[in-house]
């Protein structure tokens, strides 16, 4: 859970700073942009396999952490993205979205 939290804080913070001060988005849009970055790609599974082969001494522990994060983020990611898009007004709040 710490990895998921740290990843979210880092991505949300970086996105907020860049979108607010470089791209000049509104504060609400900048704050919610981090939620749209929550999903984690399945590509991480392939990377875990390569790291486990290269570094077998900690590959299993690393794989457990990353694969658990992929599971959590692939479950919560679409819901968080829908929430952010509706709150910023990019999608109508009454729009029906199937996950």
- Answer yes or no: are the C-beta atoms of 99 and 78 closer than 8 Å: yes
**Average of per-residue pLDDT across 5-10:** 94
Indicate the pLDDT class of residue 91, thresholds 50, 70 and 90. confident
Query: Is it the case that residue 97 has pLDDT exceeding 80?
Result: no
Q: What is the distance between the alpha carbons of residues 11 and 6, in angstroms, rounded to a whole number?
A: 9
Quick one: pLDDT at residue 15? 92
Quick one: pLDDT at residue 10? 95
**Pair of tokens at residue 13:** 């913070």
- Answer yes or no: are the C-beta atoms of 4 and 69 closer than 8 Å: yes
For 95: left if phi > 0, alpha if psi spans -120 to 50, otherwise beta; the answer is: beta
Which residue reads 């109508």 in tokens?
92
pLDDT averaged over the chain?
A: 90
Whole-model pTM? 0.77
């Amino acid at each position: 859970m710490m990895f998921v939290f740290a990843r979210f804080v880092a991505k949300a913070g970086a996105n907020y700073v860049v979108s607010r001060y470089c791209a000049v988005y509104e504060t609400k849009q900048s704050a919610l942009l981090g939620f749209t970055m929550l999903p984690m790609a399945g590509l991480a599974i392939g990377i875990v396999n390569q790291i486990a082969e290269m570094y077998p001494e900690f590959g299993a522990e690393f794989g457990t952490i990353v694969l658990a994060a992929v599971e959590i983020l692939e479950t919560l990611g679409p819901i968080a993205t829908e929430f952010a898009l509706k709150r910023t007004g990019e999608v109508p709040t009454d729009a029906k979205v199937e996950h």
